[in-house]
Chain A
């Protein structure tokens, strides 16, 4: 069987004795960033390059990806949409809010939005979730790849505003955006600790792994928000 569904909407395809990661193309015939299109049994897939996507790397690092066909996702740091396009493929009945704060990058993202009805673009600073509370509703998952020194805080604040109870947080932590000299291992440890206890929302870290060889000095992490009973 050349095509295997690893989890909802995420496929491993065996072609010419090579394995590749792919998603089902939501907009047939269109390659978003030059990735290969593959047709298997009448279905078109888009190759997903783990070197260009932290989420793709997380899949290959055997993370359990908490995304389903009908999930709603808040994506922070959408950039020009390389990874967002695959998330959009996966969520064929869902919705992704794509937040990006660089106007120039947003321009590319908007072109992607024109083709894909399940992406809602938001030009905003992820540090200021108040600026998009009127747009974003509760989501099942947050994916964040912002490469900022206060990554953990951004994740926590957005989770507090937008994540469903027990919703999932997927995070890519880049050690060098936090400290260029300190050892990545130590930074990762501190960031994970921050997430577990440092904010007024707490997370239970389900999986954490470095994303080598696809991305140097990056930690991938999946956590579940932990809500204390208020009653």
Chain B
């Protein structure tokens, strides 16, 4: 520190000299104190912003699940309730809520609407004004839940882009966020071996396996990714393993460097294509392996229905 004079002009920008020249600090010691404080503060803020980022993303993912549960329940109620007035209307979920909140009574469906004929010929009972008002408000609330859901999704995509760009690249922002949420934090996800990443979210199958005679689960929620979901069954295990290992790598890169590294994606695409090319057709022994993927398929459908 005493030799700070010497250190002038050694880097492109000599902050110490600049600070002294501009009378921002008077002494070398003051500069040292200031530098240290600034560095501590910079490191702290980068750490805490990391922290809150993944906490926020986890909250958002859980909010999505809450909304899904509630909107499903409310939509079913609406279906049953409104069904008495317009049983021929074959809509459910969001389209139903949109329809009810827009028209209320089927008498309001305009001629130009594809449902007009069904509406005018319906065998449902008449809707009183009071009931119509109530149903419309109820449906409107459901619509706004669906709107909020979309809003949260785009929030997650943005937040994941800055917290975990590589994970978003590899798994997609929403699946990536879900993995972080189930792991508890980006740090935990980064610390998992990829064999664990592969079964994250397979709680039920895992407990079943632990209790006894079922085989261990081969994939958890990463199965939701099209890479695996759309693949023929005999490739899925291999694809899932390789997908999980790239997810691990991406999570680590995000946690440790925070920088986007396109080579992860490239190497994954290469690997997946190699697996596809090496396993063009199902393995020979037909009888046993054919049974298993079928049963896994069912449990997958159960999951799909919940979302």
A interface residue numbers (CB < 8 A to B): 70, 72, 93-95, 101-104, 106-107, 110, 113-114, 117, 119-123, 125, 133-135, 137-138, 161
Contact = CB atoms under 8 A, between A and B. Distances in A.
Nearest to A100: B43
Given A72-B1, A114-B40, A137-B10, 7 more contacts: A101-B257, A123-B47, A134-B11, A135-B15, A135-B39, A137-B16, A138-B10
B4 A125 contact: no
The 9 lowest CB-CB distance pairs between A and B, nearest first, are A137-B7, A123-B43, A133-B11, A103-B47, A120-B36, A138-B7, A120-B39, A121-B43, A103-B50
Contacts of B43: 106, 110, 121-123
A119 B255 CA distance: 24
19 contacts: A70-B1, A72-B1, A95-B32, A103-B255, A106-B47, A121-B39, A122-B39, A122-B43, A123-B43, A125-B257, A133-B12, A133-B13, A134-B13, A134-B15, A135-B39, A137-B4, A137-B7, A137-B10, A138-B10
A95 B47 contact: no
A1 to B, nearest CB: 32
B256 interface: yes
B128 interface: no
Interface of B: 1-2, 4, 6-7, 10-13, 15-16, 32-33, 35-36, 39-40, 42-44, 46-47, 50, 187, 255-257
Contacts of B44: 110
Contacts of A106: 43, 47
Nearest to B32: A95
A103 B6 CA distance: 33
Contacts of A119: 36
A187 to B, nearest CB: 23
B6 A138 contact: yes
A117 B1 CA distance: 13
B35 A135 contact: yes
The interface residues of chain A, by DSSP majority, are classed as mixed
The residue in A94, A113, A117 that gathers the most chain B C-beta atoms within 10 A of its C-beta is A113
Given A101-B257, A103-B46, A138-B6, A94 B1 contact: yes
Contacts of A125: 257
A104 B36 contact: no
Nearest to A127: B257
A123 B36 CA distance: 13
Nearest to B16: A137
Contact of A104 (B32, B40, B42, B187): B187
A158 to B, nearest CB: 13
Nearest to A133: B11
Nearest to B43: A123
Contacts of B4: 137
Nearest to B47: A103
B295 to A, nearest CB: 39
A22 to B, nearest CB: 25
Contacts of B7: 137-138
A114 B11 CA distance: 28
Nearest to A139: B7
A123 to B, nearest CB: 4
Contacts of B46: 103, 123
Contacts of A70: 1-2
Nearest to B51: A103
Nearest to B49: A103
A139 B288 CA distance: 67
A173 to B, nearest CB: 21
A103 B33 CA distance: 23
A153 B40 CA distance: 27
Nearest to B8: A137
B14 to A, nearest CB: 8
Contacts of B47: 103, 106-107, 110, 123
B256 A101 contact: yes
